[in-house]
Chain A
Amino acid sequence: MVYTQRHPALLIMGLVMLGIGVSTTLGWQDELIKYLAIEKLTSEMTSLPYVFGGIAVVVGLWHLLGRHVEGNLDYYLSTIAGATFILLIAMLIRWYLDPWVAVLSKALGPVMGDKYLHDVLGLNYVVLGIIAGILVVNVFQVPRWAENGIRLSRLGLKTGVVLLGVLYSAAELRQLGGLSIIMIGFFVLGSVGLTLWMGARRNIPNSMGGVLAAGMGVCGVSATVASAPVVQAKSLEIAYTIGTILLWGVACMFLFPVVGHFFHMGPVQFGAWAGTGILNSAQVAGAALAFQPNGIETLKVAEIFNITRVLILPIIVLWLAVWYVKREEDAPGVNVGRVVIEKFPVFVLGFLLMFALSSTGIFAPAQHYQGAYFDNNVKPEKLLKPEAVATLQAEVGKVQRDDQRAALGRLIDNRKLMSPDDDDVLRGVVNAKLLSKDANGVLKEAHKAVRHTAKKIAAFRDWITWLFAFGLVGLGMQITIASIRQAGGEPLVIGGVVGTLKAVLSLIVVLLFVHETI
């Protein structure tokens, strides 16, 4: 069988990519880039289109004019057309559609704390990519010349999952509070176990149960994507899980603050509850800020719990890998140990290897979280200027709380932030809008001077973003309307039951055992 189609599509897509690169380089897109606020993406807009556009043009010429004979060359080079098709859609989403949605959403103003509508609904490149893929397959159908290459999307996802390990470190896990580890450990493991049990009782496929368990237990989209290849989840099952999590999160964001005020919860209690019960990171932050718009204490606690949950991901991935292999092969006479060795997904070990490498500190200081870390060894030119210090000194009287006054005093004395705690406390001052715009600007400047992002981790994040965008657009292309009808609403029911149970039980635990100090 000859896979390569004699078709000009790949050549045309290559030229379109080169067109994007050239027009960005020559500044023809400057106004659009400014409108979409994507200045930080211009470096990739002037590099990726040349690399992949160039490859597409060369291979596209071969597709159109070459002699195609059955064999490896034909088989593997034919995949370039589908892969380029997915990549071009991913580029259009990341550079144009996703920022445009953000611009429109921001024009409406914040809807929950300082969060905008697209944050609340989780409308980012992940969701937009899946929707784009679904539209392509259901409205236009996947072109024949792209069919072979679309099968590379899962490879992209798996590679992204392996790299995901570099974003976390064991040092960060050790720094977290004991209560957050116990509470999150209990509820994450409990949610995963309950979802798996309910899935088995209600006879949903193991792959659906596995991916839903990770999504409902850990942290939504990342956990879903990371566990999907482990349990061989189908495209529809991934989309279902992400949809369930986001819908659940939206409802929680509005309900949690109301319930929190009803029970007169303090910042620590509410932060612990929101960080445990809500699944999506942006939605956790939104609920915390909605509960306490004039300070950062709730947000800080919620973030600690949220980070703890994310860091349990490697354990959950490992658990699901072993669970899935056992479930699929658990027949009489089967040697489970041998089956685990034969069928265990090797890329999970890669994920754990990256987690271990990241924990050694070779990519970033070992205490980093997703590449961000505190370091106040700043250059003299980065210290606050005398006029900035004077701006702060003039407004010290506006700050009433002792801890905030003390942190502000240390900043004024040293012209830089002295500790991560001071940084957090003064972020609360900025959020509460206690000071003038100029003074808040100075505080933000001081924050930027000591908060760093490791360049290597930033580069890994870009790779992961692209690999996930590529994989999810491709997976979206495998979701047909007929398959959605066939799947029914069972996952939504299970997700709703597990989510509600987790929210209610964690509320009871928080009210009984969590006090205003951790």
Chain B
Amino acid sequence: MTERIVAAFVPLVDCAVLVAAREQGFAAEAGLDLALVKEPSWASLRDHLSLGHVDCAHALAPLPVALTLGVGHVQVECIAPFVLGRGGNAVTVSNRLFDEMQGAAAFTDPLETARALAAVARRRVPPLTLGMVFPFSNHNFDLRYWLAAAGLHPDRDIRLVAIPPPLMVDSLRAGLVDGFCVGEPWNSLAVAQGLGSIVATQSQLFPRAAEKVLAFRAAFAQQSQSVARLLRALDAAAAWADDASNHAALASLLARPAYLDLPQDIIAAALDGRVHLASGADVHDRSFLYFHRQAANAPREDDGLWVYAQMVRWGQIAPSEHAERAASRVFSPALYRDSVRGTRVDSRPAPPPFDRIEFAAKDVPAYLRQFDVHTPFADVQAL
């Protein structure tokens, strides 16, 4: 019997595995009717997930952690048993900001680029405004971490605003933001329209970062018979999507009005990791965004602890052992391991970030003490 399962998604290249599972028949082979619902914003996706209007969602990795901890919304325990994509984000700046940075940076070393941006930011009145997609997103955390490494305080020296991905390019065009961090293909679209330049990629800043996960309400995942079958279908779909020889077909699926509704060539370039960088050294970086290689789909508790550490650093939550445990549980690999035969879990640590400061998942408080720039929880509460 065919079981229906409904997944929400936001139009981005990294919803590819869900689209491939539906359109290439992987879900149907597993006896599932996988329905996909497009969401206009992350808040809308979160609300539909938390109240059970959809069974699961293509989610920013920090989103199920925030829901589980009850930050910024009702508290709903979630799990993320499958990583839908690693990498895929980039930082784009407006032509004006790019011109102002140009003297100071060759755009090859992310730290140097951050310093050039910081130098402009210190001169700007009113402050520079940068777009990111949601308070609980790698985009928010990555921008903060990256600019703080150049000595900027992201809550004092610049303005960060949350804008849903489909509105990002228009916001740049209208001059509402000076730059942004967003997932593809929205960076490449801004470049193609002559509105800005890509100055850094997520794969340069934080290699192998778990970017999007499939998030479930924990209660649903526990009682549903279809979750294990869905994970197996997604694993097969991810292997298909990761194969470069399928990228043309995948790009044509994603380009459809029901999904991204954007030009196929821009989507194909993002899938291949062909990104026009401001340095002129256009990369063909196969690790820019990937769906299956290097045990990409297995969630790791360290991915959850990373999110926890960023939430503490920027004052979204108070540090606590309870929250730390809850965040790591969201990314438990158990369900993935039990559902998908022959999985490998990559136990190697991810390569260090651009600043060479290794993430120490075993001792998050000590890890966080290495950073001068942070926003204590108490300061946020006092606002």
A binds B: no
B-side residues, CB < 8 A to A, are: none
